[in-house]
Amino acid sequence: MAKSRFEYVKGFENHPILLPNTYIAVRIDGRGFHQFSKEHNFTKPNDVRALNLMNQCAKSVMEEYTDIVIGYGESDEFSFIISKNSQLYKRRESKIISCIVSRFSSSYVFYWKDFMGDVSLKYPPVFDGRAVCYPSLENIRDYLSWRQADTHINNLYNTCFWLMVQDPSQKYKSEKEVENILKDTNSSQKNELLFSQYNVNYAKLPEQFRKGSVLYSDKRNVTEIGKNGKEVVRSRRVIVIDHCDIIGKEFWEKHPHILK
């Protein structure tokens, strides 16, 4: 067969390797999810069903790729941190990005019904992905802090925005007008606005919205059916979904094994 004549094209491939002994952060991000969330009537500013679906997809990724030591998600994005000493796909960049994005994307459709009930999925969604290396513990913690700080900023803004846009008195004419008002406010002004105009204490809103979702593997007591057919409680490694602060050191002191 004429195999050999064409095979030279394989020589055009490059296989960039992610630097060994660094944490790899793979971040995926929904493409066109502004539009997607409208077409599927997501509740604004936060649709808890859609957020839980994202978490389930992340769990599915982490069950498949056990070198991921922690996942962090908010809105339509998720970050996965791969351990420093991982040899996953020999640390080949395109393999690592594509496989994680692929599993997340197929999971999104696979688990859609379990979370979105009778909202029917109109078309297959797209997530992009990228991989970034972080050499030190400080760097990778700062990466996660960056994403969680972003969650806070975005959620506070969105909480104001949607309450104002949906204000029953319709005192704001348009989304544009609301944007213009909000763009000149700082955090405490937004907190004040929420409280004075809508009687909302931002600090009392669900942690899932304010902190995002933190996924990691931990030991938990799990009830199982033993050989004798009776229930037994066993300690098992499971993927835990939490909504806690990961900027401060408390979480990391409690879970020192995660970033080793």
- Which residues are part of a known binding site? 29-34, 75-76
Q: Report how many residues bind a second copy under the rule CB under 8 A.
A: 68
Q: How many Cα atoms sit within 13 Å of 111 on the Cβ side? A: 20
Binding status of residue 19 toward a second copy by CB under 8 A: yes
Backbone phi and psi for residue 73, each to the nearest 5 degrees, phi listed first: -135, 155
Binding status of residue 188 toward a second copy by CB under 8 A: no
Binding status of residue 185 toward a second copy by CB under 8 A: no
Q: How far is the CB of 187 from a second copy (least distance, A)?
A: 6
* String of contacts with a second copy for each residue 70-109, x by CB under 8 A: --------------x----x---xxx-xxx-xxxxxxxxx
The alpha-helical segments, DSSP class H, found in 14-136 are: 33-39, 48-64, 93-110, 112-116
Binding status of residue 225 toward a second copy by CB under 8 A: no
List the one residue from 38, 39, 114, 153 that touches a second copy (CB under 8 A): 153
Burial of 243 (0-12, 13-18, 19+ CB in 10 A): middle
- Residue 230's contacts (CB-CB under 8 Å, 6 or more residues apart) are none
Query: 152: phi > 0 → left, psi -120 to 50 → alpha, else beta; which?
Result: alpha
* String of contacts with a second copy for each residue 26-65, x by CB under 8 A: --x--x----------------------------x---x-
| DSSP classification of residue 143 | H
Burial of 228 (0-12, 13-18, 19+ CB in 10 A): exposed
Binding status of residue 7 toward a second copy by CB under 8 A: yes
Nearest partner of 81 among 93, 66, 92, judged by Cα = 66
* String of contacts with a second copy for each residue 116-145, x by CB under 8 A: -----x-xxxxxxxxxxxxxx--x--xx-x
**Site residues, a second copy (CB under 8 A):** 1-3, 5-14, 16-17, 19-22, 28, 31, 60, 64, 84, 89, 93-95, 97-99, 101-111, 121, 123-136, 139, 142-143, 145-146, 149-150, 152-153, 187, 247
